[in-house]
Structure 1
Amino acid sequence: MDSPYRRELEVALRVVEQAARLSQAVLPDTDKGAVEKENNLGPVTIGDFAIQALLTSSLHSAFPDDLFVGEEDASALRSDPVLCERVWTTLQRTVGTSSSGCVLPASPSDMCDSIDRCQNAPGTDRVWVFDPIDGTKTFLRREMYAINVALLVDGQQTISVVACPLLSPDPVEDDQNEKDAVITNDSIDPTGRGSLLFAVKGHGAYVRPLFEGKGLGVAVDAAPRRLSPATASQPLRPVTCFFLQESALDDVHRGVAEQLGVAFPGSDLLGWVPRWASLAMGRANTTVWVYRRRDRHAKIWDHAGAMLLFAETGGIVTDVDGKPIDLLAGRILNKNFGFVAAPTAESHATVLKAVHDVLRAQGKLDLLGDN
């Protein structure tokens, strides 16, 4: 790919490949060292900590003037020496630096400092954004998860690298039954290859196998496949997450699906990054997410970069108000409310109208903002 960001893409691909190896090494463990975050924000595992340390240490070594934003902090490791040692040992035994181009932290203390280097807020200039494991709850169940890395330049998605170690990289053929395209949390690639997706703004989105097969050998020589743009003639196929009542409104999502005449819940995936990957790969082509309250907002690491994959296939992404997603808002995307994504401008307008119609019909006028 010939772009001004070729080196950044090459470095990010190498590091994410190794991060995926690390995640697969941890995946079979019954005890993944999971601890609950404060404020009921879900679990974090030794895989999350180790991958964020690996990503930050390696990319900081390559691009020392860049800033970093990541989901995790090292407070649990600093207060629990046993957990810290488990994360440190995991890094040492699973990541080979001689051929991978990765740079490991120099010590457990340096590892914690690397994790905490990601506590910035996004701003102008160059900022890397990480979600070390998106879908930690499903990762604990050995189900679908993803690793998300994005480079933002002046708040614009510029590079996306996403690893989905359990998702098949194979295309869905046009004559395949639509049901075969549906991805769920337990859709595990039987070949063990997984998917590595990447994009540079203005240069398209691509996918290739992540591993050579049912081992952890990285498929570095696999040829990437450019992801095809959606067309207006394709029927809408949703991806969502059903029955997350503490977060979003299933009855609204169901109502939108009924108005559009599409399956519900369609592809059912917990993690947002696998949802964006499935949209880019054509395994689904539309998503709607309406939070329960206007003061609920998305987190940048669940979306930055991963959205670029879909955008580079021609997909349109806005919030429920029809506004572009503002990635300069901060770690929490408080300038936007929810998401509406569809494959073309025409289909996006149709889906957005359905969302507004259903909110009005269900008496949820407080969620409509200024519409």
Structure 2
Amino acid sequence: MSSAAAYHLERQVAISAVTRACSLTDKVFRNLVTADTVTKKDKSPVTVGDYSAQAVVNTVIASHFSADAIVGEEDSKDLRNPEAKNLRDQIVKLANEALASPAQECPAVADAASKSSEAASQAWGTQDLSEEALLAAIDRGNAEGGRSGRCWALDPIDGTKGFLRGGQYAVCLAFMVDGEVQVGVIGCPNLPHDASSAKPKEGEFGAGAKRNDLGTLFVAVKGQGAFQRPIQAESDSETAITMNKISSLSSASFCESVEAGHSSHGTNARIAELLGITAEPVRMDSQAKYVSIARGDGDVYLRLPVGDGSYQEKIWDHAAGSLIVEEAGGRVSDIRGRSLDFGVGRTLKDNKGVVAAHRDVHDQVIRAVGQALEEEGRGNL
């Protein structure tokens, strides 16, 4: 198999699944999220979106690769409670709407159908799936991951607070073989197609409906480069993306989490000082940070351990984004420069923190990270 053909169907299936999930989550945001829900800290819209998107993605994957394991963020336990009937009804409706018309909307389905007499890959588009079928699809995400075999990692809505604020969030899907990420697809419904365009301001509900330049899909296959395209566009509109070639880190900029609880902002500021970086950090939620630096909208992504460093990063929060950055010319590691190990289960328990930067300057960033942590008395992390 040529490198260009490697994992072609997995790539197509992932694109179809993420595209459908992005349309679904965008619909949830437009219909259910208001300034009032945010003020009241009502997380029900993101709950509907999370479950529905996972049901859709897992259904698409299973129709093509029924034996593949899926490591997903959600399970259906709470949904099966009698008092969750209204929530279940919303999920069933949204998921079936997103799964409609596979032959027309999913190149992978048409490709599979032309090569096989099996009708299974068409089943979810020809009739509505039952509530139980969709709950079972959600529970396909209960795999433990590991070092051997084929496995997918899914975060149906990465950046829940960004989603609720009308900011950045992402639908993230990665395909792994023997613990190595081979395919990464990330859909960012609120990210402009052009990196130089202004991002929607958080809290401006309905602003996205007035723009036609939002919604960007990022795709990478190991050894084949990284690409972006509008979420709803055809594959021939893909364009290659690469990280900025940095001559001096003093001209670089950071991408970091909005929430201080996700990464140590104070440590990040000290690292910037050590590297001579004076630009204000770009703060956004989700793996939108990975894809932003991959296409040059920022240069360094830091997610440093908070406190005693006991938190274990989840594989679905980093698998797709790390591959996209690496295929765009970057390197992704933990704070000690060790590669992220996606083969030890559902978490990155053998790694602490995440550092992503262009491969030419990654070592410099790691040295600055180490010095900053030593100064804080956290050099043991």
TM-score (norm 2): 0.83
Change (3 A) 1:43 1:119: farther
Pairwise CA distance, 1:89: 1.4
**Is 1:327 the counterpart of 2:342 in the alignment?**
yes
Partner of 1:86: 90
Partner of 1:119: 142
Partner of 1:106: 129
C-alpha distance in 2 between matches for 1:186 and 1:314: 34
- Contact 2:253–2:299 (CA under 8 A) maintained in structure 1: yes
Partner of 1:74: 76
- Contact 1:19–1:51 (CA under 8 A) maintained in structure 2: yes
Partner of 1:237: 253
Partner-residue secondary structure (3-state), 1:219: coil
Partner of 1:228: 242
Matches within 5 A, 1:145-156: 145-156=169-180
Pairwise CA distance, 1:67: 0.8
Matches within 5 A, 1:17-56: 17-30=19-32, 44-56=46-58
- Contact 1:183–1:283 (CA under 8 A) maintained in structure 2: no
The amino acid across from 1:290 in the alignment is L
- Contact 2:166–2:202 (CA under 8 A) maintained in structure 1: no
Partner-residue secondary structure (3-state), 1:29: helix
Partner of 1:253: 268
**1:161 aligned to which of 171, 185, 188:** 185
Pairwise CA distance, 1:28: 1.3
Q: Deviations over 1:105-159 (max 9, x none)?
A: 7311111111111111112111011111111111122221111111001111100
**Is 1:205 the counterpart of 2:226 in the alignment?**
yes
**Is 1:277 the counterpart of 2:300 in the alignment?**
no
Name the count of aligned residue pairs.
343
Pairwise CA distance, 1:186: 7.3
Q: Deviations over 1:215-259 (max 9, x none)?
A: xxx222651110124324263221002452x34322211111111
Change (3 A) 1:340 1:183: farther
Partner-residue secondary structure (3-state), 1:165: strand
- Contact 2:253–2:300 (CA under 8 A) maintained in structure 1: yes
- Contact 1:166–1:192 (CA under 8 A) maintained in structure 2: no
**Is 1:267 the counterpart of 2:269 in the alignment?**
no
- Contact 1:181–1:284 (CA under 8 A) maintained in structure 2: no
C-alpha distance in 2 between matches for 1:238 and 1:122: 31
The amino acid across from 1:113 in the alignment is A
Identity of aligned residues (%): 30
Pairwise CA distance, 1:191: 2.6
The amino acid across from 1:118 in the alignment is G
- Contact 2:52–2:94 (CA under 8 A) maintained in structure 1: yes
Change (3 A) 1:355 1:183: farther
The structure carrying a bigger helix percent of its residues is: 2
Change (3 A) 1:277 1:352: same
Change (3 A) 1:147 1:320: same
Q: Deviations over 1:26-64 (max 9, x none)?
A: 1112359x9xxxxxx999511111110111111111111
- Contact 1:237–1:284 (CA under 8 A) maintained in structure 2: yes
Pairwise CA distance, 1:364: 2.4
- Contact 1:22–1:95 (CA under 8 A) maintained in structure 2: no
**Structure 2: 5+ residue runs without aligned partners?**
38-42, 110-123
Partner-residue secondary structure (3-state), 1:68: strand
C-alpha distance in 2 between matches for 1:186 and 1:343: 33
- Contact 2:192–2:215 (CA under 8 A) maintained in structure 1: yes
Partner-residue secondary structure (3-state), 2:309: coil
Q: Deviations over 1:141-186 (max 9, x none)?
A: 22211111110011111001111111112254xxxxxxx7899867
Change (3 A) 1:253 1:4: same
C-alpha distance in 1 between matches for 2:324 and 2:198: 18
Partner-residue secondary structure (3-state), 1:65: coil
**1:358 aligned to which of 358, 372, 378:** 372
The amino acid across from 1:195 in the alignment is T
**Is 1:300 the counterpart of 2:343 in the alignment?**
no
- Contact 1:183–1:269 (CA under 8 A) maintained in structure 2: no
Change (3 A) 1:57 1:336: same
RMSD of aligned Cα (Å) = 2.6
Pairwise CA distance, 1:95: 3.7
Change (3 A) 1:182 1:209: closer
C-alpha distance in 1 between matches for 2:44 and 2:334: 24
**Structure 1: 5+ residue runs without aligned partners?**
35-40, 173-179, 211-217
